[in-house]
């Protein structure tokens, strides 16, 4: 299962086109700031120095300019001593590691000071629900990680995602209610 999943992930990543977001062919644009891209490059480089293996070839993403344009990367041979596995990257890098059980997966998912979003991939919704209830995140996806429903709140826990976005809860978190109590006074 692990090898098949990794192969499919790599194949999908290799279909992406890094480039100018105004180009209709582009499916992956630049990071919002060069420093964000630099942070992800540092996480990736540290992981590789500690034994991780990259699966995406640089020549597939010639638009990676060392600045804000950052090629995606899939890493294997990763562990939780690597920042790329325990920090929020907010960019196109993912470390994939095999686990022996749902309990091990849960322990690893919760082994982070952050808890914004988790994504579970399974054909068994009951199993996903049992795991999702135990994950220390504000948002859990099943078989996707690419859509935010405006009707459902997006929130985090632990050292991430303070507050709420989307939904009525998100709207209320960025507005200030105000009450007016007027009474006519007789002159």
Sequence-distant (≥ 6) Cβ neighbours of residue 173 within 8 angstroms: 163, 164, 165
Are 179 and 120 contained in the same domain?
Answer: yes
Report d(CA 71, CA 60) in Å as an integer.
9
Residue 24 tokens read as 């209709």
Give the structural domain span for 172.
116-187
Q: What is the pLDDT of residue 32?
A: 97
Q: What does pTM read for this prediction?
A: 0.85
- What is the dihedral sign for C-alpha 128, 132, 133, 139? negative
Q: Report the run of H or E that residue 164 belongs to, with start and end.
A: strand 164-165
Mean pLDDT of 24-40: 98
Are 89 and 120 contained in the same domain?
Answer: no
Mean pLDDT of 146-154: 84
Per-residue pLDDT band for 163 (boundaries 50, 70, 90) equals: confident
Residue 39 tokens read as 């942070």
Are 78 and 128 contained in the same domain?
Answer: no
Residue that is last in its domain, among 34, 68, 98: 98
pLDDT digits (tens, 9 = 90+) for 57-66: 999 999 999 9
- Angle of helix 125-132 relative to helix 102-109, nearest 10 degrees, comes to 40
User: How much is the mean pLDDT over the chain?
Assistant: 94
Mean pLDDT of 128-132: 96
Whether 111 is covered by a domain: the verdict is no
Report d(CA 76, CA 51) in Å as an integer.
9
Q: Structural domain tally of the chain?
A: 2
Are 132 and 159 contained in the same domain?
Answer: yes
Cβ(135)–Cβ(181) under 8 Å? Answer: no
């Amino acid at each position: 299962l692990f090898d098949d999943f990794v192969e499919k992930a790599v194949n999908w990543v290799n279909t992406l086109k890094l480039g100018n977001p105004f180009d209709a062919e582009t499916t992956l644009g630049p990071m919002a700031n060069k420093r964000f891209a630099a942070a992800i490059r540092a996480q990736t480089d540290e992981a590789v120095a500690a034994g991780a293996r990259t699966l995406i070839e640089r020549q597939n993403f010639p638009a990676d300019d060392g600045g804000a344009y950052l090629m995606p990367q899939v890493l294997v041979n990763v562990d939780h001593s690597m920042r790329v596995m325990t920090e929020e990257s907010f960019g196109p890098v993912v470390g994939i590691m095999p686990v022996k059980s749902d309990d091990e997966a849960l322990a690893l998912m919760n082994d982070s000071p952050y808890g914004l979003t988790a994504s579970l991939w399974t054909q068994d919704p009951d199993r996903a629900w049992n795991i999702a209830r135990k994950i220390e995140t504000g948002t859990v996806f099943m078989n996707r990680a690419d859509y935010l429903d405006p009707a459902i709140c997006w929130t985090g826990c632990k050292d991430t995602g303070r507050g709420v976005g989307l939904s009525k809860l998100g709207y209320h978190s960025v507005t200030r209610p105000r009450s007016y109590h007027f009474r006519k006074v007789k002159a």
